[in-house]
Amino acid sequence: MSAGRANLILESHFSTELHISEPGDEDYQPQSPPTPQLDTSPPLEDAVDSMVVPQQVVLSTQSPAAMKLGSHQLIPKNLAASSRPKNRHHTTVVTFPLGLEHSSSGSRGRTRHSTQGPDLSWEDYDSDGDGFALRRNRRNKSYRAAVTSLDIEAMTEGPGPKSTLKPVREDRAPSPGPARSPGRKRTLGRKRNQNQRGSFKDATPRLYQDVRERGLQSTNQDELLDDFVVVEPPVEDQGIVVKSYRPAQLTWSQLPQVKDTGILTMITPQERKRQEAIFEIITSEHSYLHSLGILVRHFEKSDVLRKTMTTTEHHHLFSNISVIHDVSKRFFEDLERRHSDNPLIRDISDIVQIHAARHFEPYIVYCSNETFQQRTLQKLLTSNTAFKEALKQIEGSSECGGLPMISFLILPMQRVTRLPLLLDTICQKTPQDKAEHFAAVWALQAISKLVSSCNDGARRMERTEQMYTIQKQMDFGRIKPFPLVSSSRWLKKHGELAIAAEELSIWRAFTNRSYYLYLFNDVLIVTRKKSEESFVVLDYATVENVKVEVGETPEGKMSPPAKNSTNYLSFKLVMSKNSEGRPEQISLVAESRVDRARWIVALTEHKQAGISTCTEGLPQYEATKAYMPKDPDELGLQQAELVIVQQKEEAWCYGERMRDGERGWFPASCATEITNPTAMESNVQRMKRLRKETNV
């Protein structure tokens, strides 16, 4: 009798701990989580620990806890992270991803199962030593270990009589840790053997089109200690713990060799910012090299694409991009070597200065070919169906990220124009009394000189070809001719303008009702359009002898213009000396307010040459996407470039590019206005500093 009572008591203890069944619940599976209040009884816990092997507990989604919203799952203590206190014997509850219990079953022999994309490393939610973030990471590791050891087939089966308590297979290999799994895709900042020291190259590089260098941002970084370390803290009690999350960008402070060696505690906040700025040049060059490799391998060396065009078209399209790729590879290797020597990087300015002065000449050649490149691509897309189809197939591949080829072709121009801004960030983070500061200034001057040469090369090729084409189309007739092609002359704007009604005399009304104007930087030519490729010169005058008169119609007038009135679109050209040396005036009408504003700016812009524009109070815009100019008076923009807007007309803005002072029109949809006064002042100071140090 006493033996039976002892067995009954023991059975009661055992069933209470594992919660195999509950009275009156027939649908419940034999397995269910322990109730939390039982953990408060140490004698019972010790008794169960001595009798029940933890490895024999099989997890199931049919338990009461798993049936709740969020599918809570219990994790045995031996699956938790090794950093848990040894005296904790209760299980750890983590949040199970919704819908996993309904997922299709996989092979029983799997060693890894995930429905949420790439796994996370322990640094993914790190916030510079925040204890909460580390607790979150231990929960992630527990989740991965639990999912690895789950019987997925048992989870996906519906409730039925065959669902019984099954022991864990003893012959199953132990679940590998998240950092040791051979099939696991490595992530940025994964903690590995300290002898390996870790590297930002372990993960698949991001495309350079997706990189947003913080050194280009318009925030006042001097006021922010963590301007290069922006990590969003996880939300408490989040419904789904594991997400397809990837840090925006790996920073120097997140490197394992930096964290584990305690470098952050030994350097000043200013030095930490400097290290972040240096490291950003290295990592962004890595992404840039990766994108260049895709352009070379998948586009330039594609046999399918090559067969759809001539050799000349192929050369115009890709120019010397393979040489650019080799140059970038050598540059990155030198940067990486300096980084691997010591995680606390002394300086990279000498490397940048040497490469900019001695090895980056191919960039000038590539940028000089930009005009032919754009024209060839446009021609192939509009007239070559085979090329268009082959290009569509390549662009749709996963390696290209679904991005168009033009986004790869403009990468060298983007990179070479961003380097001065990134170098300037290093200059500002380096104390001015240090030798590294002077080295950074020299590197900044060298790379700025290269950018200037690239811009000049691109403009020179475009302007020379354009001038030869225009001269062939000009017919001076009875007007005294002059040589149009000159190395110091270029086209600023051209287009057709209607003649105002008061200018139309009886005989002129039957001849032509519009003029076609060619405005160069030193002369204005008035022509009549005979055909698409032929123009008869009617008159011309130097820009110094041309004056623009605008009607007195108030801009702020709210009432609409009178019917058939063109006052708000008209302006008058007054030539003090025309081709015959006598005064002449013409009243013209533009198509729209934007067209009128662009003509007035172009005709009066020479008067502003050499005059410093007051930037105080003017709005600033940051380009949200690249813009390729289509007309000579338009301004090309790279992503994240800053512009001081001097005039806005409908959907167009006229402004000055801050990095080099170039002016022109661009669509307002390509940029967003900066409203932070501190950021605006910081941008102006950077513009003045760059132009002073680089003689722009």
Task: Using the predicted structure, report yes or no on whether residue 596 has a pLDDT greater than 90.
Answer: yes
Tokens of 158: 């519906």
Tokens of 67: 């049936």
**What's residue 688's pLDDT?**
83
- For every residue of 3-34, DSSP letters joined together read HHHHHHHHHHHHHHHHT---TT-SSS-S--PP
CA gap 577, 584 in Å, rounded: 7
CA gap 187, 242 in Å, rounded: 15
Name the more confident of 387 and 222.
Answer: 387
Task: Using the predicted structure, report yes or no on whether residue 24 has a pLDDT greater than 70.
Answer: no
SS (H, E, C) 96-161: CCCCHHHCCCCCCCCCCCCCCCCCCCCCCCCCCCCHHHHHHHHHHHHHHHHHHHCCHHHHHCCCCC
CA gap 504, 76 in Å, rounded: 93
Q: Assign 546 a pLDDT band (cuts: 50, 70, 90).
A: very high
CA gap 167, 210 in Å, rounded: 48
Task: Using the predicted structure, report yes or no on whether residue 678 has a pLDDT greater than 60.
Answer: yes
- Each residue of 338-377: pLDDT tens digit? 999 998 999 999 999 999 999 999 999 999 998 889 889 9
Length of the chain, please? 696
**What's residue 217's pLDDT?**
62
Task: Using the predicted structure, report yes or no on whether residue 170 has a pLDDT greater than 80.
Answer: no
Q: Assign 457 a pLDDT band (cuts: 50, 70, 90).
A: confident
CA gap 143, 150 in Å, rounded: 11
Name the more confident of 127 and 655.
Answer: 655
**Among candidates 606, 605, 619, 604, which has minimal Cα distance to 658?**
619
- Each residue of 610-657: pLDDT tens digit? 666 677 789 999 999 889 888 999 998 888 889 999 999 999 999 999
**Among candidates 251, 243, 176, 240, which has minimal Cα distance to 213?**
251
Task: Using the predicted structure, report yes or no on whether residue 284 has a pLDDT greater than 90.
Answer: yes
Q: In the CATH scheme, what architecture does the domain 620-694 have?
A: Roll (2.30)
* Residues ≥6 apart with Cβ < 8 Å to 287: 205, 206, 207, 208, 210, 211
Q: What is the mean pLDDT of residues 11-24?
A: 48
CA gap 538, 584 in Å, rounded: 12
CA gap 244, 118 in Å, rounded: 6
Residue 538's SS3 state is strand
CA gap 270, 430 in Å, rounded: 8
Tokens of 265: 């505690």
Label residues 615-646 b or e (16+ Cβ within 10 Å = b).
beeeebbbbeebbeeeebbbbbbbbbbbbbbb
Name the more confident of 130 and 69.
Answer: 69
Instruction: Name, of 38-42, 630-634, 684-688, the range with top average pLDDT.
Output: 630-634
Task: Using the predicted structure, report yes or no on whether residue 239 has a pLDDT greater than 50.
Answer: no
The single-letter DSSP state of residue 677 is: H
Instruction: Name, of 77-91, 235-249, 539-553, the range with top average pLDDT.
Output: 539-553
Residue 622's SS3 state is strand
- Of 57-71, 242-256, 305-319, 648-662, the range with the lowest mean pLDDT is 57-71
Residue 682's SS3 state is helix
**What's residue 313's pLDDT?**
95
**What's residue 195's pLDDT?**
40
* Residues ≥6 apart with Cβ < 8 Å to 35: 19
Q: In the CATH scheme, what architecture does the domain 242-465 have?
A: Up-down Bundle (1.20)
Q: Assign 282 a pLDDT band (cuts: 50, 70, 90).
A: very high
- Of 244-248, 278-282, 371-375, 489-493, the range with the lowest mean pLDDT is 244-248
Q: Assign 422 a pLDDT band (cuts: 50, 70, 90).
A: very high
> Which CATH class name applies to 476-504+511-551+568-607?
mainly beta
Q: What is the mean pLDDT of residues 125-145?
A: 41
Max Cα–Cα distance, the chain, nearest Å:
133
Q: What is the mean pLDDT of residues 582-611?
A: 88
**What's residue 75's pLDDT?**
57
Helices then strands, counting H and E runs in the chain, come out as: 18, 15
**What's residue 616's pLDDT?**
77
* Residues ≥6 apart with Cβ < 8 Å to 681: 220
**What's residue 74's pLDDT?**
55
For the chain, the structural domain boundaries read 242-465, 476-504+511-551+568-607, 620-694
**What's residue 691's pLDDT?**
77
CB distance 329 to 417 below 8 Å: no
Name the more confident of 77 and 242.
Answer: 77
Label residues 2-31 b or e (16+ Cβ within 10 Å = b).
eeeeeeeeeeebeeebbbeeeeeeeebbbb
Rounded to two decimals, what is the model's pTM?
Answer: 0.61
Q: What is the mean pLDDT of residues 157-165?
A: 49
Query: What type of residue sits at position 94?
Result: V
- Of 191-195, 477-481, 596-600, the range with the lowest mean pLDDT is 191-195
**What does residue 250 show for φ and ψ, rounded to 5 degrees?**
-70, 135
Residue 453's SS3 state is helix
**What's residue 383's pLDDT?**
94
Q: Give me the percent of the chain exceeding a pLDDT of 90.
A: 41
For the chain, how big is the Rg over CA atoms in Å? 35
**What's residue 55's pLDDT?**
52
**What's residue 607's pLDDT?**
78
Q: Assign 304 a pLDDT band (cuts: 50, 70, 90).
A: very high
CB distance 635 to 583 below 8 Å: no
Q: What is the mean pLDDT of residues 259-278?
A: 91
Q: Give me the percent of the chain exceeding a pLDDT of 70.
A: 60
SS (H, E, C) 372-415: HHHHHHHHHHHHCHHHHHHHHHHHCCCCCCCCCHHHHHCHHHHH
List the Cα angle 646/647/653 in 5-degree steps: 105
Label residues 344-368 b or e (16+ Cβ within 10 Å = b).
ebebbbbbbbebbbeebebbbebbb
**What's residue 166's pLDDT?**
53
- Of 13-27, 52-66, 290-304, 630-644, the range with the lowest mean pLDDT is 13-27
Instruction: Name, of 58-62, 241-245, 571-575, the range with top average pLDDT.
Output: 571-575
Helix (H) or strand (E) holding 327: helix 321-341
**What's residue 320's pLDDT?**
95
Task: Using the predicted structure, report yes or no on whether residue 212 has a pLDDT greater than 80.
Answer: no
CA gap 301, 675 in Å, rounded: 45
**What's residue 67's pLDDT?**
58
**What's residue 486's pLDDT?**
87
Q: Around 189, how many Cα atoms within 13 Å sit in the side-chain half-sphere? A: 22
Query: What type of residue sits at position 589?
Result: V
Neighbours of 655 (CB within 10 A): 24
CA gap 185, 179 in Å, rounded: 10
**What's residue 279's pLDDT?**
94
**What does residue 73 show for φ and ψ, rounded to 5 degrees?**
-130, 145
CB distance 270 to 429 below 8 Å: yes
**Mean pLDDT score of the chain:** 74
